Amino acid sequence: MAANIDGRLINYIRNDTSMTYSNAVSWCNSLNGSLPIPSSPAENQILTSLGNTWLGFTTSNMTGVLWFNWGHGKPSGNGQTVQLLDRAPWDNQHWYGQWNDGNDRKYPATCYLSGKIVFEKKYIIRYNSLCSQREELYELDLFSIEIYPHDLSQ
């Protein structure tokens, strides 16, 4: 996906497989990307619409964090990693994009991509050894979305 947020064009891709924070960082690094650090309510809302996701900072290093959206009583010190939550996995309650700190769960990941986009669709295929047909197992799409900040002066 690509988002034009506050003059920044951000290309990103979503992995709905739940994973640890370190696996999310590794997955993103393999794409020459990084986990997101929302810098505005509009950016946070787009990420929330995708569902729970890891964020690209820790409670011990908030370098680059210009805007905050912590849940009530957070950060609590339950861990250094930070997640954006649409729904809490422990009780399915709405969090509406608020942030949580903790290390003990797995979440999907969203990766901000840098540099030139070299693909729009990537297929992982398996060939059937008994015939020449191919089976498409997974499809990874790169989407585009534009976000326009609200004019708050009105």
pTM above 0.75, yes or no: no
Amino acid residing at 53: T
Class of domain 2-141: alpha beta
Compute and round to an integer the Cα radius of gyration of the chain: 17
Q: What is the pLDDT along the chain (154 residues), one digit of tens a residue?
A: 666 666 767 788 899 999 999 999 999 999 889 999 998 998 999 899 999 999 999 999 999 899 999 999 999 999 999 999 999 999 999 999 999 998 889 999 999 987 544 444 444 334 434 444 444 444 444 444 333 333 333 3
Other Cβ atoms less than 10 A from the Cβ of 118: the count is 9
**Any idea what DSSP says for residue 70?**
B
Place of tokens 């900040």: 149
> How is the chain split into domains, by residue range?
2-141
Please, which residues have CB within 8 angstroms of residue 27's CB and are 6 or more apart in sequence? 15, 19, 109, 111
Reduce the DSSP state of residue 50 to 3 states and report it: helix
